[in-house]
Amino acid sequence: MARAQRREQAQAWLERVGLGTQARQLPHRVSGGQRQRVQLARALAARPRAVLMDEPFGALDAQTRAGMQDLLVEVLHGTGATVVFVTHDVDEALFLGDRVALLGAGGLVAVRDVPRPRDRGAHDDPARLALRRDVLTSLGT
């Protein structure tokens, strides 16, 4: 790919993650949330079939974390990419996942399908609460 095409693609991805005007910022001048947005753009710019994300939002505050979760869902739409998202946050797993794999000391403990549509406000939905309880029980908590 020619240099001009790479720049154009990078700019398009920065715009897609809401950082189009920040392209020239130095790394030490951007926030943790902005760094995560850049990492997301970098991971998806190559149009991978699969992406491993290991606790990518763990160091973010709750508000930024929720925003990044929403952005991830939005940005992934239509890419066809499969994401393996590692998290210790059950609510995050249930919001982001189509399927949740539960790991224990001996390996895979269980796999649960997560019903759709995604709705951040569905915390009191009986089916979601039952699934959350099931996941926590399977993890022994």
Provide the whole-model pTM.
0.83
Count Cβ neighbours within 10 Å for each residue of 84-99 and write b for 16 or more, e otherwise.
ebebeebebbbbbbee
Instruction: Please state, as a whole number, how many other Cβ atoms lie within 10 Å of the Cβ of residue 57.
Output: 23
Residues of the chain with pLDDT > 70: what percent?
100
**Rounded to 5 degrees, what are φ and ψ at 103?**
-110, 140
Task: Give the pLDDT confidence of 101-139 residue by residue, as tens digits.
Answer: 999 888 998 999 998 887 887 778 898 899 999 999 988
- Label residue 99 by pLDDT band (50, 70, 90): very high
CA 24 vs CA 14, 29, 39, 42, 78: distances in Å = 11, 10, 15, 15, 28
Domains of the chain by start residue, with CATH:
1-86 (3.40.50.300), 87-141 (no CATH)
